[in-house]
């Protein structure tokens, strides 16, 4: 199924009211590996010269990794079942504060024996996105049925569990008031400090574009993240038939195109190469050195002794005259500069 077919299928399911199980793309940072997309997003988000409401900053924010947390929990409504709860920063920061602040006396809230039940209140705001969560711990108590510990999930491999069909309950599905108990992430020598598993996800980007970004092929954060097309090569100028067999100019020289005609400078005509009006000095410096004669190549008068095309062998018809004409014009300009001082 290609991207177009997948998009159509998702839209069709959405129109039928079916729930979309989509967790985005797992960020390599989840496994302590470098992520180029995160680096590109942070370059924009940490750049204070970019306005807060700039589209570029908003795009970087939408592509930046989002943190999701997973915990084994037991709901008081059905204490015989262990489920995986998926939640965000609002709940996590409150749980972390209980874990890390011994003065509050809640550091063992996750412990099966000395832990406690938690009251989670969900308060809906004016819009669907405006939701707040408040966590309050109850008195310490022991789990009634310790056998449920054997039903806990090893959340160190939570992404694999989701792929295998385990469906976490997201925080938005909690009741207005929910009583639950958080359990360890897994049983083992390190479980005492681990009540959660963090996974970073990237949204608003296709899997192909994400892989191309990781490979350094595109920058999806910047507008038009695709690589810039190469500039077309300038073809060398070939004189009309009958003017010789040499090819004038090269692909990198600006004289590959015919020189534009310039109006005659009355001051130059009056002084025969002498001083010119200040306003005309810049214009004279930019004057094409070639005559208007169509039989002359456009590079005539722009003699360059280091250029391979400006030798009598490569340019038998014009090299000598071109050099002489160039030297004559330069001499007139030097004279004009001395008289204008």
Question: Do the domain assignments include residue 129?
Answer: yes
Q: Assess whether pLDDT exceeds 80 at residue 332.
A: no
Which region holds residue 324: left if phi is over 0, alpha if psi is between -120 and 50, else beta? alpha
Domain count, the chain: 2
Domain that holds residue 298: 254-340
Is 222 part of a structural domain of the chain? no
Considering the domain architecture, whether residues 28 and 157 belong to the same structural domain is answered as yes
Same domain, residue pair 32 and 105: yes
CA distance 262 to 179: 86
Claim: this prediction has a pTM higher than 0.85 = no
> Could you tell me if 159 and 21 lie in one domain?
yes
Taking only the tens place, the pLDDT of each residue in 66-100 is 999 999 999 999 999 999 999 999 999 999 999 89
More confident residue, 302 or 205: 205
Q: Which two tokens stand for residue 81?
A: 């079942």
Q: Is residue 263 part of a domain?
A: yes
Is 9 domain-assigned?
Answer: no
What is the pLDDT at residue 319?
Answer: 77
Dig out the tokens for 110 from the structure: 């996750």
Is there a single domain that holds both residue 162 and residue 304?
no
- Integer Cα distance of 209 and 220 in angstroms: 8
97 versus 330: the higher-pLDDT residue is 97
- Tokens for 44? 């924009």
Strands (E), 44-159: 66-75, 78-87, 116-124, 131-140
| Total number of residues shown for the chain | 341
Does residue 235 lie in a domain region?
no
* Inside any domain, residue 223: no
Dist. CA 98–CA 42, nearest whole Å: 30
Pair 96, 203 in one domain: yes
Q: CA-to-CA distance for 329 and 334, rounded, in angstroms?
A: 9
Asked whether residue 290 falls in the same domain as residue 200, the answer is: no
Domain boundary among 214, 242, 268: 214
8 CB-near residues (< 8 Å, 6+ apart): none
pLDDT digits (tens, 9 = 90+) for 170-188: 999 999 999 999 998 876 5
Looking at the chain, the whole-number percentage of residues with pLDDT higher than 70 is 67
Residues 124, 125, 129, 135, CA torsion sign: negative
Task: Report residue 26's pLDDT band, with 50, 70 and 90 as the boundaries.
Answer: very high
What confidence score (pLDDT) does residue 139 get? 92
Q: What is the mean pLDDT of residues 315-340?
A: 75
The one-character DSSP state at 245 is: S
Mean pLDDT of 301-305: 76
Give the pair of three-digit tokens for residue 313: 């062998």
Q: What is the mean pLDDT of residues 109-132?
A: 89
111 domain-assigned? yes
Residue 332 lies in a domain: yes
């Amino acid at each position: 199924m290609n991207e177009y077919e997948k998009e159509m299928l998702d839209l069709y399911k959405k129109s039928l009211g079916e729930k979309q199980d989509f967790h985005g793309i797992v960020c390599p940072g989840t496994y302590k590996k470098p992520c180029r997309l995160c680096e590109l997003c942070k370059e924009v988000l940490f750049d204070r010269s970019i306005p807060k409401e700039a589209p570029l900053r908003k795009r970087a924010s939408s592509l930046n990794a989002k943190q999701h947390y997973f915990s084994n929990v037991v709901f008081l409504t059905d204490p015989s079942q262990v489920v995986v709860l998926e939640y965000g920063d609002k709940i996590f920061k409150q749980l972390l504060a209980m874990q890390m602040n011994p003065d509050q006396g809640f550091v063992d809230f996750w412990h099966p024996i000395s832990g406690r039940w938690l009251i989670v209140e969900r308060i809906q705001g004016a819009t669907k996105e405006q939701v707040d969560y408040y966590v309050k711990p109850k008195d310490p108590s022991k789990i009634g049925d310790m056998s449920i510990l054997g039903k806990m999930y090893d959340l160190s491999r939570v992404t694999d569990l989701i792929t295998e069909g385990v469906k976490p309950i997201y925080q938005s599905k909690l009741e207005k008031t929910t009583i639950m108990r958080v359990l360890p992430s897994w049983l083992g020598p390190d479980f005492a400090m681990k009540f959660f598993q963090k996974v970073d996800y990237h949204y608003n980007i296709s899997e192909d574009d994400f892989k191309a970004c990781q490979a350094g092929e595109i920058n999806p954060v910047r507008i038009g993240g695709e690589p810039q097309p190469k500039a077309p090569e300038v073809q060398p100028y070939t004189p009309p038939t009958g003017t010789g067999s040499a090819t004038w100019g090269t692909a990198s020289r600006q004289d590959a195109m015919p020189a534009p005609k310039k109006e005659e400078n009355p001051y130059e005509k009056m002084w025969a190469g002498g001083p010119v009006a200040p306003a005309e000095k810049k214009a004279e410096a930019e004057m094409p050195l070639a005559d208007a004669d169509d039989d002359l190549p456009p590079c005539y008068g722009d003699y360059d002794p280091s250029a391979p095309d400006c030798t009598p062998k490569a340019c038998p018809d014009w090299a000598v005259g071109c050099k002489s004409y160039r030297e004559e014009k330069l001499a007139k300009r030097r004279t004009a500069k001395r008289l204008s001082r």
